[in-house]
Amino acid sequence: MRQFQLFTKTSRNAPKDEESKNAKLLIQAGFIRKEMAGVYSFLPFGLRVLNKIIGIIREEMNAIGGQELLLTTLQDPEVWKKTGRWVEEEADPQHGLPWFKTKLVNKGELGLANTHEEPLTNLMREHVASYRDLPRYVYQFQTKFRNELRAKSGIMRTREFIMKDLYSFSRNEEEFRAFYEQCAEAYMKIFTRAGIGERTYRTFASGGSFSKFSDEFQTICQAGEDTIYVDKKKNIAVNKEVYNDEILMELGLKKNEMSEERAIEVGNIFPLGTKFSVPLGLTFKTAEGSEKPVIMGSYGIGPARLMGTVVEMLSDEKGIVWPESIAPFSVHLLALEGGEKEAKALYERLEKQGMEVLYDDRTDKSSGEKLVDADLLGIPTRIVVSARTLEQGSVEVKKRNEEKHELVKLDALTL
Amino acid sequence: MRQFQLFTKTSRNAPKDEESKNAKLLIQAGFIRKEMAGVYSFLPFGLRVLNKIIGIIREEMNAIGGQELLLTTLQDPEVWKKTGRWVEEEADPQHGLPWFKTKLVNKGELGLANTHEEPLTNLMREHVASYRDLPRYVYQFQTKFRNELRAKSGIMRTREFIMKDLYSFSRNEEEFRAFYEQCAEAYMKIFTRAGIGERTYRTFASGGSFSKFSDEFQTICQAGEDTIYVDKKKNIAVNKEVYNDEILMELGLKKNEMSEERAIEVGNIFPLGTKFSVPLGLTFKTAEGSEKPVIMGSYGIGPARLMGTVVEMLSDEKGIVWPESIAPFSVHLLALEGGEKEAKALYERLEKQGMEVLYDDRTDKSSGEKLVDADLLGIPTRIVVSARTLEQGSVEVKKRNEEKHELVKLDALTL
């Protein structure tokens, strides 16, 4: 893409009304825009990153048998009343965050979905009758609305966000557990592919109102809202909520081998048991002819939170540092003074090779401004073409996450 | 994909609570699910079709210089008050459909976006200062919420739907008109690629509250909600709203050469002039140094309405007939009695070739049921493998939109 044509611009300074590093950098670099507290638009570069993250998650969910659908935002209260999660009060801490509600012009109240266990369980009743119809794994990327009281963590905790939520439907506990472990592995693959695997731990956590325990995936980071205790040798962590002697014994962990860390919850997986299948009537006929409720699980990742986590962890004082896998472009090609003609030819050559190149062909920016922008935008490989590099028949190649520059002969350049 | 694993099932009968052909067929075939009146979920096959349509639109929008972003659903009333489109009354016919409104738990009222002129114009102020920053073309695929009084046209008119909306930002009328015509051409390409080009007409229509006239793209179809007058020789149409002698004279059309038709509005393009840029303060500095408001246009297509239109137009008494370009799969491979082994090998061969194959390997369905389902699902090419076809070393190939069957030698099969 030619940067000259791009409609977004970087700002000289970080926004003053943001507390979090991720929002500051992403707004300054023109990846996102704050519409109001906790509500962000994704500008072209931000959307490219978000879509790459979604692409990775989709691949891994398909690989474990996930079938993608798209449920709705507008929710019929009747379905939620059956599980007791349509709460009349504005804010009921027992049931998590309050709903965003709205009204039909000609009828009653509706909700904006904050999760989708109820409508999906209800839907599955039409497709599950016998043990032959199970197990099934169904997921979506859908916008959730959560009426947060405060929003101060940038794109990591917002009132409106796309979430990947998968739900598993199994015949028995054993089948459920096998998939649960398979999905936990897929989650670690996702975090590793997105560049934060090394600091992300499967974390023993409370099951909330669903079950005794659940698993979170926590990435160690100062900006995190959670506190966890990590045994780095054993590669396991425990959320502060459930950090007690009984649990430690159960998991074979010792207090003096655990370190306390701040962490960001980048994913979670929940056993749901029959909490939803029983009240909503999702049952199946066993091979022996008896009727049983389906065993369920839920598995969530917020792509924007993952994006914010990467920014929090990998950026430096000059700007963002994207891992190759989710970068908006692979190469940032800068035409500096005297290098315009050769840069253009190189841009066309790299595009023809199918590389994703951002080509800074702006004529109203100084070399200094272009270099500052390149660091801020954080594209993994920077190539500079200028009179100075061309004197040696070369271009300058630099990785965003390394200090060293390298002159490479134009003809010999391979990426 | 193996049909055995698919979680959705077809129904023996069409739903009784739907009036429209598109909803009846799409629900019966398991492409969509009705959550409530005017609110539909997209099941795996429906989502595949929707995403193919979105892919075609995205390609054509990128080809004319569109830059994709993603704005938000939650809307701050302050921005809309500036243009007078935040209407306090529940339903104000002057301003189109009433809003869906909601409330922050700790603050005031918000709206659910029904269109995005206001937030985008507001956003562009941060990126447009000079004539050098224009023209720009910005688009998205975003969910719109419209508080329809009635919803009886299936997925063609719903309360919640994804829309492609592009907005153009130009320096003057001439630059705007050039893009407007370019986008009109791109729209015809989209409708042609999606299989409804031949019956779709660029239609002269009212400009609503924005300008004197606009252009609609109307597809002739009995299920349409609009009435248009078409000159098929000249390849142009006029919406009933503005069908009068003055307009006909202006367009050089004659009443006796026009036929009255029912039609579905599959797209529209609107000149917006300075209706939004003036109240929201989106201006630019000209080369001469004066300050001018930006000239805008808006360009909409609803992918789900396009999908519904295809179903209305191309289906037959047995089911849906998808055009290749937007079909959920290219090939529907049916293993009938005695053909299971060879069908499986063929499935693996076709998948390896990168074909999108739905493989009916269900063991609890009769041959008759499989053939009925294949017609209902509407995948363009059906291949049957059975003891009967294998006797001649062959498979049976049939196009969904043709009557003729053909025996093709297994070794010679190329698609």
Question: Residue A152's pLDDT band (boundaries 50, 70, 90)?
Answer: confident
The answer on pLDDT for B206 being more than 90 is no
The answer on pLDDT for B132 being more than 60 is yes
Q: Which residue has the higher pLDDT, A96 or B352?
A: B352
Cβ-proximal residues to B40 (8 Å cutoff; 6+ apart), any chain: A72, B23, B32, B33, B34, B154, B155, B158, B304
Q: Which residue has the higher pLDDT, B210 or A415?
A: A415
* pLDDT tens readout for residues A231-263: 999 999 999 999 999 999 999 999 999 999 999
Instruction: For residue B72, give the nearest of A7, A74, A160 by CB distance.
Output: A160
Q: How near does any CA of chain A get to the CA of B135, in Å?
A: 9
- Chain A residues close to B5, C-beta within 8 Å: 65, 67
**Interchain CB contacts (distance < 8 Å): A and B:** 139
Instruction: Of A40, A165, A145, A141, give the one whose Cα is nearest residue A99.
Output: A145
What pTM does this model have?
A: 0.97
> Do the Cβ atoms of A74 and B39 come within 8 Å?
yes
Instruction: For residue A105, give the nearest of B91, B103, B105 by CB distance.
Output: B91
* pLDDT tens readout for residues B101-113: 999 987 799 999 9
The answer on pLDDT for B411 being more than 90 is no
Tokens of A347: 């841009």
* pLDDT tens readout for residues A351-381: 999 999 999 999 999 999 999 999 999 999 9
* pLDDT tens readout for residues B273-289: 999 999 999 999 999 99
The answer on pLDDT for A98 being more than 90 is no
Instruction: For residue B67, give the nearest of A7, A36, A124 by CB distance.
Output: A7
The length of chain A in residues reads 415
> Do the Cβ atoms of B5 and A65 come within 8 Å?
yes
Chosen for mutation from A36, A62, A89, A136 (greatest number of chain B CBs closer than 10 Å) is: A36
The answer on pLDDT for A314 being more than 80 is yes
Instruction: For residue B35, give the nearest of A76, A128, A133 by CB distance.
Output: A76
The answer on pLDDT for B344 being more than 80 is yes
Chosen for mutation from A3, A5, A8 (greatest number of chain B CBs closer than 10 Å) is: A8
- Chain B residues close to A147, C-beta within 8 Å: 104-105
Give the pLDDT score at B195. Answer: 97
The answer on pLDDT for A88 being more than 90 is no
Q: How near does any CA of chain B get to the CA of A193, in Å?
A: 24
Question: Residue B151's pLDDT band (boundaries 50, 70, 90)?
Answer: confident
Tokens 């100075």 locate to A388
> Do the Cβ atoms of B72 and A5 come within 8 Å?
no
Q: How near does any CA of chain B get to the CA of A31, in Å?
A: 10
> Do the Cβ atoms of A147 and B104 come within 8 Å?
yes
- The stretch B290-303 carries a mean pLDDT of 98
Q: What percent of chain A has pLDDT over 90?
A: 91
Instruction: For residue B70, give the nearest of A5, A6, A42 by CB distance.
Output: A42
Instruction: For residue B44, give the nearest of A8, A68, A73 by CB distance.
Output: A68
- Chain A residues close to B91, C-beta within 8 Å: 105
Q: How near does any CA of chain A get to the CA of B260, in Å?
A: 33
> Do the Cβ atoms of B41 and A136 come within 8 Å?
no
The answer on pLDDT for B378 being more than 80 is yes
Instruction: For residue A127, give the nearest of B9, B42, B148 by CB distance.
Output: B9
The answer on pLDDT for B35 being more than 90 is yes
Residue of chain B whose Cα is closest to the Cα of A119: B35
3-class DSSP state of A80: helix
The answer on pLDDT for A206 being more than 90 is no
Domains in chain B, ordered, with CATH?
21-314 (3.30.930.10), 329-412 (3.40.50.800)
Q: How near does any CA of chain A get to the CA of B204, in Å?
A: 31
Q: How near does any CA of chain B get to the CA of A406, in Å?
A: 33
- Chain A residues close to B143, C-beta within 8 Å: 73, 143
Question: Residue B254's pLDDT band (boundaries 50, 70, 90)?
Answer: very high
Chosen for mutation from A88, A103, A105, A126 (greatest number of chain B CBs closer than 10 Å) is: A105
| b/e code B184-220 from CB counts within 10 Å (16+ = b) | eebbbbbbebbbbeebbbbbbbeeeebeebbbbbbbb
Give the pLDDT score at B186. Answer: 98
Q: How near does any CA of chain B get to the CA of A273, in Å?
A: 20
Chosen for mutation from B12, B34, B61, B73 (greatest number of chain A CBs closer than 10 Å) is: B73
SS3 letters across chain B: CECCCCCCCCCCCCCCCCCCHHHHHHHHCCCEEEEECCEEEECHHHHHHHHHHHHHHHHHHHHCCCEECECCCEECHHHHHCCCCCCCCCCCHHHCCCCEEEECCCCCEEEECCCCHHHHHHHHCCCCCEHHHCCEEEEEEEEEECCCCCCCCHHHCCCEEEEEEEEEEECCHHHHHHHHHHHHHHHHHHHHHCCCHHHEEEEEEECCCCCCEEEEEEEECCCCCEEEEEECCCCEEEEHHHCCHHHHHHHCCCHHHCEEEEEEEEEEEEEEECCCHHHHCCEEECCCCCEEECEEEEEEECHHHHHHHHHHHHCECCECCCCHHHCCCCEEEEECCCCHHHHHHHHHHHHHCCCCEEEECCCCCCHHHHHHHHHHHCCCEEEEECHHHHCCCEEEEEECCCCCEEEEEHHHCCC
Cβ-proximal residues to A17 (8 Å cutoff; 6+ apart), any chain: A34
- The stretch A395-413 carries a mean pLDDT of 94
CA atoms within 13 A on the CB side of B203: 32
- Using only C-alpha atoms, what is the Rg of chain B? 24
3-class DSSP state of A171: coil
Average pLDDT, chain B: 95
ipTM of this model? 0.96
Contact B145, B100 (CB under 8 A): yes
Question: Residue B96's pLDDT band (boundaries 50, 70, 90)?
Answer: low
Give the pLDDT score at B34. Answer: 97
- Chain A residues close to B364, C-beta within 8 Å: 132
> Do the Cβ atoms of B160 and A42 come within 8 Å?
no
- Chain A residues close to B128, C-beta within 8 Å: 7
Which of A391-400, B390-399, B406-415 is predicted least confidently?
B406-415
The answer on pLDDT for B311 being more than 70 is yes
